[in-house]
Chain A
């Protein structure tokens, strides 16, 4: 969905480095999410935010942090990257007022930690 953009699209980094993945949306949605996708495991929720002042941990938040800089921006940070954080990362959005359960996904960021 072009209304949800993620940068970078691909990133290779080394163990111990700090890295930030960014997500921006022009859909005007209030809710934003970060997921990681691993083969055979589906998508797992890392963090979610229902508005700028609301940040919540998902099922696999250890080793990650997030910042909701504005309604349209939600960034994910790996403070000290490790190889098992190699995965495909997706940002998603939803609209509390229109349909809070239907999420719109960005194109993904493929992260490799060596």
Chain B
């Protein structure tokens, strides 16, 4: 079955440090991959996507993600975390419809 996994329920990082939020997928073929962010009491907001081309994708708010086909991963990264980045992050893949991971809560401490 097609699936998306986010192995970490929560990631803690200090402000100014680099952050990584992990995502792996299980699918046959070439998936379209996405990251969304959810702030408290808000709907999900699109951050970035990978369709084809360069494996490093840049998105909103300084985030980027690296597609690694051999490891079937699409990790979200940011070189320098901000307290305001604290939110719930969802990885998703499109296999005929959008399939979401379970989400990772990012906490950035001052």
Contact = CB atoms under 8 A, between A and B. Distances in A.
Given A101-B49, A102-B34, A108 B43 contact: yes
Given A42-B90, A42-B103, A43-B90, A101 B43 contact: no
Contacts of B97: 45, 48, 58
B63 interface: no
Contacts of B9: 40
Interface size band for B: 20 to 34
Binding site secondary structure of chain A: strand
A108 B101 CA distance: 18
Contacts of B46: 102-104
Interface of A: 1, 4, 33, 40-45, 48, 58, 90, 92, 101-108
Contacts, number: 48
Interface of B: 9, 32, 34, 36, 41-46, 49, 51, 90, 94, 97-98, 100-103
A1 B90 contact: no
B90 A107 contact: no
Contact of A45 (B42, B98, B103): B98
Contact of B102 (A41, A58, A105): A41
B43 A43 contact: no
Contact of B44 (A45, A90, A101): A90
